[in-house]
Chain A
Amino acid sequence: MEYKISNRLKMGAIILMVLGLLGISYGFWNAHTVNEDNITEFLASESHHGDAHEVEGHEDVHVESAGHGEEAHSEDSHGDDAHGAEHVEDHQATHEEHVLHQIHNRPWSALYIAAFFFFMIALGVLAFYAVQYAAQAGWSPVLFRVMEGITSYVLPGGLLVLIIAFMADSHLFVWLKEGMTTEGHENYDALVAGKASWLNKPWFFIRGLIFLGGWSLYRHFSRKFSVAQDSSDDNRFFKKNFRISAAFLVFFMYSESMMSWDWIMSVDPHWFSTLFGWYLLAGMLVCGVTVISMITIYLKSKGLLEHVNDSHIHDLAKFMFGFSVFWTYLWFSQFMLIWYSNIPEEVTYFVTRIEDYNLPFFGMIAMNFLFPLLLLMNSDFKRVNWFVIMAGIVILCGHYIDIFNMIMPATVGDRWFIGIPEIGSILFFGGLFLLIVFSALGKYPLTAKGNPFIEESEHFHY
Chain B
Amino acid sequence: MEASKVIHAIYTDDDVLMSAVKSVKAEKYHIEEIYTPFPVHGLDKAMGLAPTRLAITAFLYGCVGITVATVMMNFIMIQDWPQDIGGKPSFSYLENMPSFVPIMFELTVFFAAHLMVITFYLRSRMWPFKKAENPDPRTTDDHFLMEIAVHNNEESLTDLLRNTGAVEINIVDKNEDAH
**A residues with CB within 8 A of B:** 67, 332, 335-336, 339-340, 342, 377, 379
CB of B143 to closest CB in A, whole Å: 28
In Å, the complex CA distance between A342 and B59 comes to 35
Q: For residue A332, which residues in chain B have a CB less than 8 angstroms away from its CB?
A: 98, 101
Asked if B124 CB lies within 8 Å of chain A CBs, one says no
Contact A340 B99 (CB under 8 A): yes
CB pair B101 A342 closer than 8 Å = no
Whether the pair B59, A377 counts as a contact (CB closer than 8 A) is yes
Interface size on B, residues (CB 8 A): 7
Q: Would you give 13 A-B contacts (Cβ < 8 Å), ordered by A? A: A67-B91, A332-B98, A332-B101, A335-B98, A336-B98, A336-B99, A336-B101, A339-B98, A340-B98, A340-B99, A342-B87, A377-B59, A379-B55
Q: A335-B98, A379-B55 are in contact. List 11 more A-B contacts (CB 8 A).
A: A67-B91, A332-B98, A332-B101, A336-B98, A336-B99, A336-B101, A339-B98, A340-B98, A340-B99, A342-B87, A377-B59
Residues of B bordering A, CB below 8 Å = 55, 59, 87, 91, 98-99, 101
B118 to chain A, nearest CB (A): 21
Q: Which residues of B contact A379 (CB under 8 A)?
A: 55
A332 to B99, CA, bound (A): 11
Residues from chain A with Cβ under 8 Å of B91 in the complex: 67
Q: How far is the CB of A368 from chain B (nearest CB, A)?
A: 16
Q: In the assembly, what is the distance between CA of A379 and CA of B52, in Å?
A: 12
> Nearest Cβ distance between residue A75 and chain B, in whole angstroms?
22
Main secondary structure of the interface of A (DSSP, over half): helix
C-alpha gap A377/B108 in the complex (Å): 15
Q: How far is the CA of A39 from the CA of B54 in the complex (A)?
A: 65
- Note all chain B residues with C-beta closer than 8 A to A335: 98
Determine the chain A residues whose CB is within 8 A of the CB of B55 once the complex forms. Answer: 379
Q: How far is the CA of A342 from the CA of B95 in the complex (A)?
A: 14
Provide the residues of chain B in CB contact with A377, threshold 8 Å: 59
A339 to B100 Cα, complex, angstroms: 12
Q: Which residues of B contact A336 (CB under 8 A)?
A: 98-99, 101
Residues of B within 8 A of A340 (CB): 98-99
CA A379 – CA B98 in complex, angstroms? 30
Residues of chain A within 8 A (CB-CB) of B59 are 377
B113 to chain A, nearest CB (A): 16
A379 to B54, CA, bound (A): 13
Shortest Cβ distance from A338 into B: residue:
B98
| Distance between B103 CB and nearest chain A CB, rounded to angstroms | 12
Give Cα A351–Cα B87 distance, bound, in whole angstroms. 16
User: What chain A residues lie within 8 Å of B99 (beta carbons)?
Assistant: 336, 340
Kindly state the separation between the CA atoms of A342 and B89 in the bound complex, as whole angstroms: 12
Contacts of A342 in B (CB 8 A): 87
Compute how far the CA of A335 lies from the CA of B101 in the bound complex, rounded to whole angstroms.
12
Min distance, Cβ A330 to any Cβ of chain B, angstroms: 14
When C-beta atoms are compared, the residue in chain B nearest to A339 turns out to be B98
| Closest chain A CB from B17 CB (angstroms) | 20
Question: Using Cβ atoms and an 8 Å threshold, which residues of chain B touch A339?
Answer: 98
**A335 to B97 Cα, complex, angstroms:** 12
Tell me the minimal C-beta distance from A138 to chain B in angstroms.
16
Tell me the smallest distance from the CB of B52 to a CB of chain A, in Å: 11
Complex Cα–Cα for A137 and B68 (A): 41
A176 to B78, CA, bound (A): 47
CB distance from A389 to the nearest CB of B (A): 24
A437 to B99, CA, bound (A): 44
Cα distance, A339 to B99, chains bound together (Å)? 9
Docked pose: A146 CA to B101 CA in angstroms: 39
Give CA–CA (A340, B85) in the complex, Å: 12
CA distance A377 to B98 in the complex (A): 24
B41 to chain A, nearest CB (A): 10
Query: How far is it, in angstroms, between the C-alpha of A342 and the C-alpha of B88 when the chains are bound?
Result: 10
Q: How far is the CA of A340 from the CA of B59 in the complex (A)?
A: 30
Q: What CA separation (Å) do A150 and B56 show in the bound complex?
A: 37
